[in-house]
Amino acid sequence: MAVELEIIGDGPMRVKIEEKVKQDNINNVKLLGYLDRDALLDRVRNCGAAVIPSECYENNPISVLEAFALGIPVIGSRIGGIPELIKDGETGLLFEPGNVNDLRDKIIKLLSGPDKVVQMGKNAWALAEKEYNAELHYERLVKIYNDAITTHK
The whole-angstrom separation of Cα 34 and Cα 11 is 9
What would you report as the CA-atom Rg of the chain, rounded to the nearest whole angstrom?
18
The whole-angstrom separation of Cα 21 and Cα 5 is 11
Residues of the chain predicted below pLDDT 50: none
pTM: predicted TM-score of the whole model, two decimal places? 0.85
Taking the domain 35-151, which CATH number applies? 3.40.50.2000
pLDDT at 153: 63
pLDDT at 100: 94
The whole-angstrom separation of Cα 44 and Cα 40 is 6
DSSP annotation of 88: B
pLDDT at 150: 86
Q: What is the pLDDT of residues 74-117, one digit of tens each?
A: 999 999 999 999 999 999 999 999 999 999 999 999 988 889 99
Number of helices (H), then strands (E), in the chain: 7, 5
Domain ranges, ordered by start, for the chain: 35-151
